[in-house]
Structure 1
């Protein structure tokens, strides 16, 4: 007979303690059925004892609360048997409501929807960033191992009350924000002021994320105010896939290129760093433009109350480009013009007022593949707003998409009487472009006399070749023959007055005493004419100011071309300052003209909050993986 080994006193005490602990744990699990939660879940969880909490009804039984509130799914509706007035949300199924001042409305995202299947995202935009996708998949798998599923609750304010006061100040016209409240407890199915987690709505947008194992209860409140009248209208959605509505208030993806007195040209960041011979590059260039833009005059300060809300901007802004369902549309298209020659989207926005400051809001309708009910991310996304300003005078015209000087995209001298702002711009563009193309042809004849395809010992340079010369000459030629125009009334110190002795398009003229201009400037050739005689002869814009070409364009031309062509740049303090300007260290200033220039485009890059979040998530993921 074999006897069990005899335990030492210490081992006996340990075994007894272990058995007792296991028994207590089993009793605790049996009695309480606890749900483990992440620290972000601040409300105490009350375990659900009634597992028949929800009714599954046929499609015909849709009006479950008697007030028209229902939630459709494929062949049935899941609705909480919750307190009266608590309406149910389904996954990626936005609901729209009006809410009065001082009113609170209640919603629930039920467990059946939380535990249900996710939605379909669609193919999305062309992408080379597989690391972020893999990271999201890893984190999703880690969350599944925890006790809960990530839930996203989002809200967009679509309409706001209007001000009933006449006081001054921008804040007088911005209504107070809605408030959202969240509860994870069955004891608090109607969270609101004084209960639940408070979620601040900023610019008409709020997002709440939580790992949930049971119902998520939501309250939406309209603040009490006597300075505004009317209602709010909002759209609320819940998702287990991703936020249905998106907002990136700290991420700028839109840049101001230039304007005239009624239009502006805006562009996005580069969409890819792929080379022109790569498939991804061509996919972006062939893509239907995915982004849209809203523009609003900064005098209309009420729009700041919905600056982060897609539906709010759609209902409030008066000017838009590439936004489905918006009546007045402007032009949007993909382009590779600009620094680096990479794909990006550009917007030509018209209908603007002269001498006015505007906000520009980059948006995406849905998730770029689809939008609306049932679509992951179908509520649209809004990026950080930018500021831009229109010109005052009418003798500068915004011009882009030329055939030969294809990189030109800025305002050029014009005469509105000869080239109407609404119909004459193609003729104006053709005049500038054909003049530059003809001058380039003369240069090309000369370049053909240079032995380009020869032995290295016979070449004019081992660092540059004829292709470099042709490129540098075209860059320089387009910049000097198509000057960048600015308002004559502008006082920026880097601007060069032109055509001072000529009359404006309306027939009026300037005088030395009128604008405190030295009489010598009215007589000097550099300030009494344009740098391109064609402008004075064929366009006759009158007085304007020029953003001088950057002097490095001239230096690059001299360095890239053979000496036999005779190119030379003027010397400093001996004509250089009258013909060329210097680049500013401030990335927000275009102090000299170069092709592809855009405001705030070439500044020092910083890691965006989203990138920082991905780094943090990656570290978090690695730590968790080491624990399993």
Structure 2
């Protein structure tokens, strides 16, 4: 893509944009910069229907002291050359919180031999005559070069007083879990003050990348997990401060091109105060356990994980032997249930057992949590073997796991759950809030509500619109 000599003083120095090859530029207040994108008439998302060009951009840096009421950079675009001398003939979009996204479209006609999309970036007037904006702009006929995704795509699994575990959304069918080195995702951890620093640029990928992160991707241990029943990438970070609020940003590169990428909605979390809770995950037996547990300063995370996992596995042994005596693989008239299998029973019992044998620990006090004094715990194993050194709170197992075990297992086992709220509250909790975990659930998710990752879904929406289909 080269610069076309249009013989006009305003555009002689215009820069040519290549497909999925963004430019970086710095513009002074009150100035205008022009760009050209030569449209390929034989390829692209809108081929044979409409000619489509996706234009996206980020503001990486802007003058200090701006407020939400101040104007931002404007992007003008048109297939009509006359916009060079009259911007009023062009369509325009304004950067919003550091991000802009546009779709330039034109009906396709076979008579067209060449076509150019003209772009102009205009900076507002500023009282500081030397004020500048640094930005990046990209254009493509095949999708968004940059993307702001406002979904809650990533979240905190849990954190103790010095570490945290973060996961992405559902990656099933999108990435190869056998190739962890080819991860498209990165996590950047910032102090709470970043929310004010990026208040007007919190949708800009380059603004986040150019900020001073406390923890960068190299500081994280990443791997893939399917403990919730779907493939996710997880990021573990250590060396955090206790009782401290952090802000996490997840950024991805696009698999088909390394020059663009997406920024996902950030989230904040707080580490626990110093105490007896230790974050563990990726256990060999209790695969679904990924949260903080009561521990002791003489144990590290690996030692704590192995101690609990072996304890739970030993408890499971007798049940496993008993289940082998149940009529599972037999005739339909002899099987213990027409709708449940021994595999269902084994899974439900294991989830229940892991939640009971490995209680969840926190230093935060909510009315649903049970106070455990130093040296005590839900069972004798915690009291005699783990021996927590300080008081902590237990997030009680969810009652629904007990119900699932009773439902899925043969009646001959005699499993039962407590009845009456006062009796239940001694051992179990209810899932009654979206703001924080009111009980601890172990096992696969029953809903795939987190959904799949969407990369350039705008492209797909446009295709449906072009084809006249209704979403």
TM-score normalised by L of structure 2: 0.83
Tell me: CA distance 1:337–1:175, structure 2 relative to 1, closer, same or farther (3 Å): farther
* Residue in 1 that maps onto 2:380: 533
Alignment of 1:354-365 (within 5 A): 354-365=242-253
Provide the rounded CA distance (Å) in 1 between the counterparts of 2:206 and 2:320. Answer: 54
Q: How far is 1:89 from its partner?
A: 2.0
Tell me: CA distance 1:569–1:151, structure 2 relative to 1, closer, same or farther (3 Å): closer
SS at match of 2:431: coil
Match of 1:106 among 10, 16, 33: 33
Provide the rounded CA distance (Å) in 2 between the counterparts of 1:181 and 1:474. Answer: 60
* Residue in 2 that maps onto 1:238: 139
* Residue in 2 that maps onto 1:220: 122
Work out whether 1:368 is the aligned partner of 2:248. Answer: no
Provide the rounded CA distance (Å) in 2 between the counterparts of 1:565 and 1:241. Answer: 59
Determine if contact 1:303/1:317 at 8 Å carries over to the other structure: no
Q: How far is 1:269 from its partner?
A: 2.3
Q: How far is 1:186 from its partner?
A: 4.2
Tell me: CA distance 1:347–1:465, structure 2 relative to 1, closer, same or farther (3 Å): same
Provide the rounded CA distance (Å) in 2 between the counterparts of 1:351 and 1:195. Answer: 55
Tell me: CA distance 1:234–1:172, structure 2 relative to 1, closer, same or farther (3 Å): closer
Structure 2: which 5+ residue stretches go unaligned?
A: 107-114
Alignment of 1:142-153 (within 5 A): 142-143=49-50, 149-153=51-55
Backbone CA RMSD of aligned residues: 3.7
Work out whether 1:264 is the aligned partner of 2:164. Answer: yes
* Residue in 1 that maps onto 2:112: none
Provide the rounded CA distance (Å) in 1 between the counterparts of 2:162 and 2:197. Answer: 23
Q: 1:350-397 CA deviation, whole Å, 9 max, x = no partner?
A: 4444333333333212x223312xxxxxx2111223343322333222
* Residue in 2 that maps onto 1:303: 198
* Residue in 1 that maps onto 2:370: 496
Determine if contact 1:254/1:362 at 8 Å carries over to the other structure: yes
Q: 1:60-81 CA deviation, whole Å, 9 max, x = no partner?
A: xxxxxxxxxxxxx5xx764554
SS at match of 2:58: strand
* Residue in 2 that maps onto 1:331: 221
SS at match of 2:367: coil
Provide the rounded CA distance (Å) in 2 between the counterparts of 1:587 and 1:103. Answer: 47
Q: How far is 1:493 from its partner?
A: 1.8
Match of 1:567 among 410, 415, 425: 415
Q: How far is 1:498 from its partner?
A: 1.2
Determine if contact 2:75/2:119 at 8 Å carries over to the other structure: no
* Residue in 1 that maps onto 2:18: 91
Structure 1: which 5+ residue stretches go unaligned?
A: 1-72, 120-135, 144-148, 164-170, 273-279, 323-327, 373-378, 504-528
Determine if contact 1:550/1:583 at 8 Å carries over to the other structure: yes
Provide the rounded CA distance (Å) in 1 between the counterparts of 2:458 and 2:17. Answer: 31
Tell me: CA distance 1:176–1:431, structure 2 relative to 1, closer, same or farther (3 Å): farther
Q: How far is 1:204 from its partner?
A: 1.6
Provide the rounded CA distance (Å) in 2 between the counterparts of 1:395 and 1:211. Answer: 60
Q: How far is 1:321 from its partner?
A: 5.9
Provide the rounded CA distance (Å) in 2 between the counterparts of 1:156 and 1:282. Answer: 27
Provide the rounded CA distance (Å) in 2 between the counterparts of 1:257 and 1:557. Answer: 24
* Residue in 2 that maps onto 1:428: 304
Work out whether 1:582 is the aligned partner of 2:456. Answer: no
Q: 1:389-434 CA deviation, whole Å, 9 max, x = no partner?
A: 322333222211111101111111223x223xxxx21111111111
Provide the rounded CA distance (Å) in 1 between the counterparts of 2:64 and 2:175. Answer: 47
Tell me: CA distance 1:314–1:611, structure 2 relative to 1, closer, same or farther (3 Å): closer
Work out whether 1:154 is the aligned partner of 2:56. Answer: yes
Work out whether 1:464 is the aligned partner of 2:375. Answer: no
Tell me: CA distance 1:103–1:394, structure 2 relative to 1, closer, same or farther (3 Å): farther
Match of 1:400 among 277, 281, 290: 281
Match of 1:207 among 71, 88, 101: 101
SS at match of 2:96: coil
Q: How far is 1:242 from its partner?
A: 2.5
Work out whether 1:418 is the aligned partner of 2:295. Answer: no
Tell me: CA distance 1:230–1:534, structure 2 relative to 1, closer, same or farther (3 Å): farther
Tell me: CA distance 1:622–1:457, structure 2 relative to 1, closer, same or farther (3 Å): closer
* Residue in 2 that maps onto 1:179: 74
Q: 1:207-256 CA deviation, whole Å, 9 max, x = no partner?
A: 23223644513123155156x9974322122333333222223x332233
**Greater C-alpha radius of gyration:** 1
Provide the rounded CA distance (Å) in 2 between the counterparts of 1:604 and 1:467. Answer: 26
Match of 1:292 among 163, 182, 186: 186
Q: How far is 1:317 from its partner?
A: 4.9
Determine if contact 2:77/2:117 at 8 Å carries over to the other structure: no
Provide the rounded CA distance (Å) in 1 between the counterparts of 2:73 and 2:392. Answer: 49
Work out whether 1:386 is the aligned partner of 2:267. Answer: yes
Provide the rounded CA distance (Å) in 1 between the counterparts of 2:69 and 2:167. Answer: 29
Provide the rounded CA distance (Å) in 1 between the counterparts of 2:344 and 2:443. Answer: 18
* Residue in 2 that maps onto 1:473: 349
* Residue in 1 that maps onto 2:109: none
Provide the rounded CA distance (Å) in 1 between the counterparts of 2:414 and 2:469. Answer: 65
Higher RCO (CA 8 Å, separation ≥ 6 residues): 2
Q: How far is 1:594 from its partner?
A: 0.8
Determine if contact 1:156/1:234 at 8 Å carries over to the other structure: yes
TM-score normalised by L of structure 1: 0.64
Tell me: CA distance 1:261–1:140, structure 2 relative to 1, closer, same or farther (3 Å): farther
Tell me: CA distance 1:79–1:246, structure 2 relative to 1, closer, same or farther (3 Å): farther
Provide the rounded CA distance (Å) in 2 between the counterparts of 1:238 and 1:613. Answer: 13
Provide the rounded CA distance (Å) in 2 between the counterparts of 1:460 and 1:381. Answer: 51
SS at match of 1:271: coil
Provide the rounded CA distance (Å) in 1 between the counterparts of 2:224 and 2:3. Answer: 43
